Amino acid sequence: MPTYEYVCGRCGLQFEKQQSINDTPVSDCPECGGNVQRQISGGSGFIMKSSGARRRNTAKNCSLEETGRTCCGARQRCGQSSCGE
């Protein structure tokens, strides 16, 4: 569920609210009742949860050639490390 940022035009309160994309935007400030506007924000990235994503994301950091060690800490290729090095 996305988190939206709002700012009150009357008191300046800035707050966040988790809402479904289909929910009606907040229109009243929870502090003073003034009108609020939803802000444009950078949002967040997405997280890949597959085992392949871990392999792609960590392969560079656990390369024997770059770090001198494999993912399992060996100083030579052991064939058993979790990232396939």
Q: Read off the pLDDT of residues 12-33 as tens digits, 9 standing for 90 and up.
A: 999 999 999 899 999 999 999 9
* Residue with more model confidence, 83 or 66: 66
Enclosing domain of residue 15: 3-39
Q: Is 17 a member of any domain?
A: yes
Q: Is 46 a member of any domain?
A: no
Helix (H, G, I), strand (E, B) or coil at 53: helix
Question: How confident is the model over 47-57, as a mean pLDDT?
Answer: 57
Q: Is 15 a member of any domain?
A: yes
Q: Domain count of the chain?
A: 1
Helix (H, G, I), strand (E, B) or coil at 50: coil
Q: Is 27 a member of any domain?
A: yes
pLDDT at 6: 95
Calculate the alpha carbon distances from 2 to 22, 35, 48, 49, 71 in Å.
Answer: 11, 21, 17, 18, 34
